[in-house]
Chains A and B, each alone.
Chain A
Amino acid sequence: MSNPAALRDPPQRSDTPAPDLLVQLQDLTTNLQTALDRFRLDSRLTRLAEKEVPDARERLQHVLKLTEQAAHRTLDLVEQSCPPADRTAKEAAALGEPWSRFRAGTITVSDYCDLITRVDKFLLVSRTDSDTVRANLNEVLLAQDYQDLTGQIIRGVMTLVSEVEVVLVDLARLAGTTGGNHGPTAEELARGTGPVVPGVEQGAAVVNGQVDIDALLSDLGI
């Protein structure tokens, strides 16, 4: 049954939100405005996206190239140094027996003459070979100069990464998506996640060296 009094005087609907809600809305608007202003005023964001991140990629590509060149150069020098080093070691070992006979006074005259000739040759050849190895070692030393150049480039990229991190954290906070599990997914593990880096949380149990791996494989029957 209708209530005529209620129909004549319906309760007045308030057009003004409750005070608490007003304060919350104001806070939200202010925060949003601050964040947007920050992004607008911060032309760094555009510069980061259009110039500095693509540049960083090129710089790291250059680092890869420099380190690869240095590694190959060093390997070249090692390969060039092995034959003369082996030659010296081999001939020195071969001279050991006749030399011992000479020292013991049991060497024949013809073997003695042969020994003298071989020692003369050995002294010359081993000196040349040692000079070659020494020169190659100096080149190996110089080939390590990449570390200075790549170090500077990497440091620059690290600075950039820090800036990008700040921007992403702000974005994540705005979107309300901070927190959560950051460990590798099963798919990432199957593809491979790269070497363990000291100080970087891996998000999954890591074995501690070859001994641990051998023990684990042994438990698995391998």
Chain B
Amino acid sequence: MSKDMKFLVVDDYSTMRRIVKNLLHDLGYANVAEADDGKTALPLLENGSFDFLITDWNMPGMPGLDLLKAVRSNDRLKKLPVLMLTAEAKREQIVEAAQAGVSGYVIKPFTAVTLKEKIDKILGAQAA
């Protein structure tokens, strides 16, 4: 997988965005943009050429689930890999995310190893 891939990290907490950005840099992905809500993320996705979306769920403006659904219903964005990185841990929420087309789901608190594994798995599945 190309290390030039462009990531968008969406979370309403700046500290979490910073942590994920640092972890992505450690994995060799230097091209990382940020958004603080689904509402601000969607126009960035529509106008930019992102290769991977990492999003939180619980955000005040547009929750991550709605962002995922918006991405999957957009012809240009529907194949975008989407990894949910969230504290939401209820079974029916995970099922709903899966049904909405999420590519992977990582629960907070998480480890750098888990994040790498899930990104690699999604990219591997995409390449196949």
Please list the residues of chain A having a beta carbon within 8 angstroms of any beta carbon in chain B.
68, 71-72, 75, 78-79, 184, 189-196, 202, 204-207, 209-210, 213, 216-217, 220, 222
- Neighbouring B residues of A220 by C-beta, 8 Å: 95, 98-99
- Neighbouring A residues of B104 by C-beta, 8 Å: 217, 222
B65 and A190 within 8 A (CB): yes
A213 and B94 within 8 A (CB): yes
A213 and B105 within 8 A (CB): yes
Q: In the complex, given contacts A190-B63, A217-B104, what are 4 additional A-B residue pairs having Cβ atoms less than 8 angstroms apart?
A: A191-B63, A205-B90, A217-B94, A220-B98
* Contact with A75, one of B18, B87, B89, B105 (Cβ below 8 angstroms): B18
User: Once bound together, how far apart are the Cα atoms of A79 and B25, in whole Å?
Assistant: 11
A and B contact pairs by CB, cutoff 8 A, 11 listed: A71-B15, A75-B18, A75-B22, A189-B93, A192-B57, A192-B65, A195-B108, A196-B87, A205-B90, A206-B90, A207-B89
A192 and B59 within 8 A (CB): yes
User: Once bound together, how far apart are the Cα atoms of A216 and B89, in whole Å?
Assistant: 12
- Neighbouring A residues of B13 by C-beta, 8 Å: 68
| Minimum CB distance partner of A216 in chain B | B94
| Minimum CB distance partner of B125 in chain A | A222
* Contact with B98, one of A195, A202, A206, A217 (Cβ below 8 angstroms): A217
- Neighbouring A residues of B59 by C-beta, 8 Å: 192
| Minimum CB distance partner of B93 in chain A | A189
A207 and B91 within 8 A (CB): yes
A192 and B64 within 8 A (CB): yes
User: Once bound together, how far apart are the Cα atoms of A205 and B57, in whole Å?
Assistant: 18
A206 and B89 within 8 A (CB): yes
| Minimum CB distance partner of A189 in chain B | B93
Q: Which of B66, B88, B89, B103 has the most CB of A within 10 A?
A: B89
Q: Nearest Cβ in chain A — how far from B88, in angstroms? A: 5
User: Once bound together, how far apart are the Cα atoms of A193 and B108, in whole Å?
Assistant: 14
Q: Is B75 an interface residue (CB 8 A)?
A: no
A222 and B102 within 8 A (CB): yes
